[in-house]
Amino acid sequence: MIIDAHCHIGTDVTFDQQTTEEELLDNFRSYGVDGGIVQPYIPRPYIEEFQNIHDRIYRMTKKSPGRIFGMASVNPHFRAEDYERETKRCVQELGFVGIKITPAGHAISPCSKDGMHVFQVARELKVPVMIHTGMGIPFADPIKIQPCAEAFPDVPIVMAHAGANFYTQQAIYVAKTYENVFIEPSGAGIEATCEIIESLGPARVMFSSDVTLQMQTELSKYRDLHRRGILDEEGMEQIMYKTAETVFKLKLSNEERTKI
């Protein structure tokens, strides 16, 4: 089984990217991916834009229960009551499994006052927080996660992109220091990914594509590490879906293959 822990639909006004529901699901089928955790691209900074894209993701989850899951992404700089209302709606009413912070897209440091509010909400909702790291320095430097991990040891934190090659050592350091930190190394090279796995073990690493164009490359990294004997079958299985299943408490479909 393969679960993509980090993928998107919508239109991103920060990074100028766009993916439809059909494009994402076609990409899954093309590469034998069974499902994924879908989050919004960064929409325009109006609360109704976030509500609309969350509703689109919810409709995907209803069509593919046990294989497609939602992740909320709301700008943390919205008024606190608006941020909480929409994020709680996503988790409590729509069944989403996590919350995302994108420092470059949301113009925020994870350890700022508004950033820390995200972790307070996550603790209340008992869901993980995924944080984009790498592109968007200084806010996206993995070291910015250290105060968050320390203040909220009961909140699982997923470092997306593992610092994007340039900050791999910082990502590894934070994850080794705090047991509630996990790594999703999409966009990181195979050498960085290998070092992460050897330093932390497969149980702290999860597979993702981030964008549809990267799917083949991301799958190839792990398959090559498996071919070279760096990852055994159990390690591959752990990274391909079990880490995400555990961290996000996914209730995966028992079907052998998805019908997305």
Query: Under 8 Å CB-to-CB from 119, ≥6 apart: which residues?
Result: 129, 148, 151, 152, 155
**Structural domain boundaries of the chain?**
3-247
Q: pLDDT tens, 72-123?
A: 999 999 999 999 999 999 999 999 999 999 999 999 999 999 999 999 999 9
pTM for the model stands at 0.96
Instruction: Inform me whether the pLDDT recorded for 260 exceeds 60.
Output: no
Q: Which two tokens stand for residue 134?
A: 């790498």
Residue 218 CA to residue 206 CA, distance in Å, equals 11
For β-strands 157-160 and 129-132, DSSP reports them as parallel
Q: pLDDT tens, 15-39?
A: 999 999 999 999 999 999 999 999 9
Q: pLDDT tens, 123-159?
A: 999 999 999 999 898 999 999 999 999 999 999 999 9
CATH of 3-247, one of 3.30.70.20, 3.20.20.140, 3.90.226.10, 3.90.79.10: 3.20.20.140
Instruction: Inform me whether the pLDDT recorded for 194 exceeds 60.
Output: yes
Instruction: Inform me whether the pLDDT recorded for 257 exceeds 90.
Output: no
Q: Which two tokens stand for residue 121?
A: 């909400």
Nearest to 215 by CA among 18, 12, 22, 32: 32
